[in-house]
Amino acid sequence: MIKKIQTIKNFGVFKSFTSGAQLPDFKEKNIIYGWNYTGKTTLSRIFSSLKNKQIHPNFAEAEFKLQLSDNSEIKQTDLAACTLNVEVFNSEYIRENLKWDTDENVNGISFDVGENVSIREEIEENLKRIENVNGNETVRGKKERFQTIINEFNQFDSSKFTVESRRIKNDIFNSLIEFDKRHFGTIKNSVISNLTSHVITDETELSKVKKTSLATNDRQPIIPSEFESHLEELYDYVKGILATEPTKTDVITVLDNNSDLYHWTKAGIPLHESKSTCSFCDNEISPTRIKELNSYFSNASAKVRESISECRKLIYSEKERLESLIFPSSKNDFFDNIQDDYQTQLDSYQNIRNQYLDYLKHLLAELERKEKDNIFNSLDTVCFDKTVIDQLNKWITDTNLIIKSHNNFLDNFGTEQEAARTKLKKHQVAQFLIQEDYLKKEQNKNFSERCIRRYNCYVQKIVSKNKTFEAQLKSVIAGQQELNDFIKKILNRDDIAIEVTTDDKFILKRGEKIAENLSEGEKTAISFSYFLVSLESLHRDKKLKDIIIFIDDPISSLDGNHIAQIYSIINSFFFRQNEDPEDPNKFVNCFKQLFISTHNFEFFSFLKDSNRINKKNTREYYFVKRLSKDESEIQGLPKSLRDYKSEYIYLFEIIYKFYEGGCQESDDKLILLPNAVRRFLEIYTLLKLPDSSDEIDARLKILMPEPHQLKTLHHFSHFTTFEKVTKHDELLMNLPEAVQELMILLGQDTLHFGSLKKAISTT
């Protein structure tokens, strides 16, 4: 519910309104009283903005902020996302929902209720009840809408299944299978119990199923990849070499310090075993020198170098094994449904391979570091990182799983493809049935068939009971009778009725004659009746209890005889019995929140006295007060308005207190007094001259015939709108004189004047 209006800016007469702490929060029922032109209709336009999800077009720059019961807020910028359900009746509702035309065809007034009025199924009330059910050439029967549902559903079997089967065969399966309506029906029966479970929502899975369904058996078996990593053993080998500290015996420094000379010399010794001169420099080589060299190459450091050489060969061998790893080089070696997975493997291999090779390079670098400068030193290396092995092993395992999937699919091609095709068929059929809302339409079709059977039975009973009904023909628009009922209640007349023309327009009849014109009161009555009919439709759909309703001056243009009728309708429409199964006698609110504004004190008094409205803690009363030409405010209801049940006494209190206060220009009610004086004069002169049908001026002349009297008061009796007063500031200066003249007029009736003063307790 709406808790309060916090601010209103630049919205009609609310130039800059802010709700104070003293203003009571809105309740379930809220009655707003204020004279004309104080801002009641402007408030209704704020509610219209909530209803229409956009700011009122006449106040595009307006701002407002509402607080809801959960303390959240709605501003003019939030309207598009507003979730409140609101209905508004005001003068704009009348203009927008009732279009009046002079109709030559009916020689009178015809009208439509609403620009977008949805004309419900026409029923026949004055025709035979059989035709009311079956219809005729010009009028839809009650069965027709059910038959339409049945016919629409039957299109599935007559055409839609055939068209969809052709699409599945040609577009989905590329005409590789046979699939017609008969096949569609078989699949439908297998999926209908749980459609959503057969819809493949994962796009990747759906793609695989489609590729499997369309695959051609033209692939060859693939041999799985094999590779046993020796990387960890190589690491341990390198680590052991690095940690070795050979004893420095028989050292030849130049060879220890230069690995190239070391290897060159070692390779040359066997070539010089039987020679006495060097083959390179032709210098003499003594047997002693040969013995020294042989001793050097058999010492501990030489053995380390041998180990380094051997380990290096093993590392190169590991590299060659990795580079010769055999696996398919293209995804095209696989079936289509597996190609994407294998391509992913191919894309990841290069990085995994490079990491493995980088680790081998690292081991080689460590051997190089040992051999060159640290042959006699113990070296540490980084801890072994098994990640590269795990990554490679996982890649090989995953690749072999894909290869296995390919080979299994090849071995079981027919079975696998048929399973995929069945799955794809079920997906396509289930998806089609969901998109077409098949189950709901089938449910509606079954219901419609039952309704038609009941209608047929009903027709047979009427034929057998009374054939005279066959001659009774009457066509109405849905809601006409409800509209008529409300109009009669408001106008309290039986000679007013709404009927329907052949082109589905409404016409108003007074007795047997078509109305040639419509009074403003009749327009209000019809408009408000239609508003109630619309709400009644919401009530039948159990939606009215979720609606916030704002009704602005429903008695506008209606005379005093109809005020009680409007009150009675509101009282019975919005507060109903037989709504609560546990307590049928309880009056239940048929709305979420109700706002009623009025300028009419008598109507306001009716609402204030209503037991159904005036339940404690569920209602609140407000007063809209005009402060200046472009400023109004919402107040709590003044005590005087709560206490008085007569607008006449309330008006007298305002005028008399102004008079007693010396008619000061600073009086906070100065701007309201011209209308108060005029309204008071209207009621007073009618009280004194109840048989008069003249205007106020004429009645004043009868009561005070002297030409020099009531001159100023005569001017104020003309001010029928607030705007007139604000455009004649100089007459506001004459307001004290007018009030003085009014007191002179009342003073002629001592008894009445004294009673008025006693009523406001000022004597």
Range of the domain at 719: 646-759
Do 681 and 587 share a structural domain? no
Summarize pLDDT for 506-529 with one digit per residue, the tens: 787 877 888 777 778 888 888 888
- Asked, for residue 314, whether it belongs to a domain, the answer is no
From 58, 18, 211, 155, select the one nearest 632 (Cα to Cα).
18
Query: Using CA atoms, how far apart are residues 278 and 255, in angstroms rounded to an integer?
Result: 17
Tokens 């399973």, located at residue: 419
- Asked, for residue 50, whether it belongs to a domain, the answer is yes
- Binned at pLDDT 50, 70 and 90, residue 116 comes out as very low
- Asked, for residue 12, whether it belongs to a domain, the answer is yes
In contact, 562 and 491? CB cutoff 8 Å: yes
What integer is the mean pLDDT of 92-106?
Answer: 73
Helices (H) and strands (E) in the chain, counts: 29, 19
- Binned at pLDDT 50, 70 and 90, residue 717 comes out as low
What integer is the mean pLDDT of 98-122?
Answer: 53
Tokens 């799985």, located at residue: 224
Summarize pLDDT for 171-211 with one digit per residue, the tens: 998 888 899 999 999 999 999 999 999 999 999 889 889 98
Do 604 and 563 share a structural domain? yes
| Percentage of the chain modeled with pLDDT above 70 | 82
Q: What is the mean pLDDT of the chain?
A: 81
Query: Using CA atoms, how far apart are residues 690 and 562, in angstroms rounded to an integer?
Result: 18
Question: Is it the case that residue 549 has pLDDT exceeding 50?
Answer: yes
Query: Using CA atoms, how far apart are residues 406 and 221, in angstroms rounded to an integer?
Result: 8
Write the CA distances from 136 to 128, 357, 475, 671, integer angstroms. 11, 90, 11, 65
Say which range, 155-169, 301-315, 453-467, 652-666, has the weakest mean pLDDT: 453-467
pLDDT for 240:
92
From 509, 581, 508, 596, select the one nearest 550 (Cα to Cα).
596
From 29, 16, 15, select the one nearest 613 (Cα to Cα).
29
Task: Kindly report the three-state secondary structure assignment for every residue of 2-21.
Answer: EEEEEEEEEECCEEEEECCC
- Binned at pLDDT 50, 70 and 90, residue 714 comes out as low
Residue 29: what are its φ and ψ, rounded to 5°? -120, 130
594 against 257, higher pLDDT? 594
Summarize pLDDT for 314-338 with one digit per residue, the tens: 999 999 999 888 888 888 888 877 8
Q: Domain boundary residue among 604, 633, 662?
A: 633
In contact, 558 and 520? CB cutoff 8 Å: no
Task: Kindly report the three-state secondary structure assignment for every residue of 500-531.
Answer: ECCCCCEEEEECCEECCCCCHHHHHHHHHHHH
Say which range, 85-99, 192-206, 259-273, 320-334, has the weakest mean pLDDT: 259-273
What integer is the mean pLDDT of 740-757?
Answer: 88
DSSP helix, strand, coil percent of the chain (3-state; round to 5): 55, 15, 30
pLDDT for 696:
74
Write the CA distances from 634 to 38, 261, 734, integer angstroms. 10, 108, 28
Do 697 and 592 share a structural domain? no
- Asked, for residue 737, whether it belongs to a domain, the answer is yes
From 17, 5, 96, 2, select the one nearest 626 (Cα to Cα).
17
Strand-pairing partners, residue 509, are 497, 514
Query: Using CA atoms, how far apart are residues 461 and 130, in angstroms rounded to an integer?
Result: 10
Angle at 83 between CA 81 and CA 87, to 5 degrees: 120
Residues 6 or more apart whose CB falls under 8 angstroms from that of 238 comprise 311, 363, 366, 367, 381
Dihedral of the alpha carbons of 518, 508, 572, 1, in degrees to the nearest 10: -70
Question: Is it the case that residue 619 has pLDDT exceeding 80?
Answer: yes
147 against 722, higher pLDDT? 147
What Rg do the C-alpha atoms of the chain give, in angstroms? 50
- Binned at pLDDT 50, 70 and 90, residue 639 comes out as confident
Determine the 3-state secondary structure of 737 from DSSP.
Answer: helix
- Asked, for residue 245, whether it belongs to a domain, the answer is no
Summarize pLDDT for 426-482 with one digit per residue, the tens: 999 999 999 999 999 999 999 999 998 998 887 777 655 433 323 322 333 556 777
Do 665 and 603 share a structural domain? no
- Binned at pLDDT 50, 70 and 90, residue 88 comes out as very high
Do 668 and 572 share a structural domain? no
Do 743 and 662 share a structural domain? yes
pLDDT for 238:
93
In contact, 477 and 140? CB cutoff 8 Å: no
pLDDT for 24:
93
Do 744 and 654 share a structural domain? yes
- Asked, for residue 8, whether it belongs to a domain, the answer is yes
pTM, two decimal places: 0.49
- Binned at pLDDT 50, 70 and 90, residue 101 comes out as low
Hey, which of 60-64, 283-287, 613-617, 668-672 has the most confident mean pLDDT?
A: 60-64
pLDDT for 501:
73
- Binned at pLDDT 50, 70 and 90, residue 293 comes out as low
Question: Is it the case that residue 115 has pLDDT exceeding 50?
Answer: no
In contact, 32 and 56? CB cutoff 8 Å: no
What integer is the mean pLDDT of 22-30?
Answer: 93
38 against 629, higher pLDDT? 38
Say which range, 299-313, 456-470, 649-663, 672-686, has the weakest mean pLDDT: 456-470
- Binned at pLDDT 50, 70 and 90, residue 139 comes out as confident
**Number of domains making up the chain:** 3
Q: Domain boundary residue among 633, 657, 683?
A: 633
Do 695 and 672 share a structural domain? yes
In contact, 94 and 523? CB cutoff 8 Å: yes
Q: Domain boundary residue among 633, 663, 682?
A: 633
- Asked, for residue 136, whether it belongs to a domain, the answer is no
Tokens 């005590």, located at residue: 639
Write the CA distances from 18 to 6, 14, 64, 602, integer angstroms. 6, 10, 10, 29
pLDDT for 434:
94
Residue 423: what are its φ and ψ, rounded to 5°? -65, -40
Query: Using CA atoms, how far apart are residues 710 and 745, in angstroms rounded to an integer?
Result: 8
- Asked, for residue 699, whether it belongs to a domain, the answer is yes
Do 698 and 653 share a structural domain? yes
pLDDT for 479:
60
pLDDT for 126:
36
The encoded tokens of residue 337 equal 């449904």
Say which range, 56-70, 254-268, 398-412, has the weakest mean pLDDT: 254-268
- Dihedral sign from CA coordinates of 460, 466, 468, 471: negative
Query: Using CA atoms, how far apart are residues 253 and 217, in angstroms rounded to an integer?
Result: 71
Do 613 and 584 share a structural domain? yes
Do 567 and 662 share a structural domain? no
Say which range, 99-103, 477-481, 623-627, 632-636, has the weakest mean pLDDT: 477-481
User: H or E segment at 171?
Assistant: none
Summarize pLDDT for 564-578 with one digit per residue, the tens: 888 889 999 999 999
Do 711 and 687 share a structural domain? yes
What integer is the mean pLDDT of 3-25?
Answer: 92
364 against 249, higher pLDDT? 364
What integer is the mean pLDDT of 656-678?
Answer: 78
pLDDT for 548:
97
- Binned at pLDDT 50, 70 and 90, residue 624 comes out as very high
Long-range CB pairs of 209-212 (<8 Å, 24+ gap) are: 209/337, 209/420, 209/423, 209/424, 209/427, 210/172, 210/424, 211/335, 211/336, 211/337, 211/339, 212/335, 212/336, 212/337, 212/409, 212/416, 212/417, 212/420
